Amino acid sequence: MFMTGDNPPFIIDKNSTDFNAEQRAIDLLSDLDDRASHYMTDDLFVVFGDDFKYMNAAWMYESMDNLIKYMNENYGDKVFFRYSTPSDYVDALQKHDVEWPTK
């Protein structure tokens, strides 16, 4: 996935020599477009992390905060990012008139 413990943080300070937000945003949008092609709605649930993969929580949350801020400010006409929960996602899906497949 896009955000892994091996990737550099999402740097949004344009004055920094480490600024990488634009390229990371383009990569993320490409990943999300691919994911969206497999979904029945325009609501995507993107999971960041797990119990042990991201041992530096402060680093990860700072990077995710930067990602959310940058994406909403620069690509808000296409995507909207926010922290959420699985139940929020299920509630969002209920707003769509979709007949979900069953097996």
Please determine, for residue 54, whether its predicted confidence score (pLDDT) is greater than 80.
no
Number of folded domains that form the chain: 1
The pLDDT value recorded for residue 57 is: 78
Q: How confident is the model at residue 50 (pLDDT cuts 50, 70, 90)?
A: low
What's the distance, CA 64 to chain centroid? 8
Is 66 inside any structural domain? Answer: yes
Q: Is residue 6 situated within a structural domain?
A: no
Burial (Cβ within 10 Å: 0-12, 13-18, ≥19) of residue 69: middle
- pTM assigned to the model: 0.82
Give me the percent of the chain exceeding a pLDDT of 90. 62
Within-domain flag for 8: no
> By residue range, what is the domain housing residue 82?
21-94
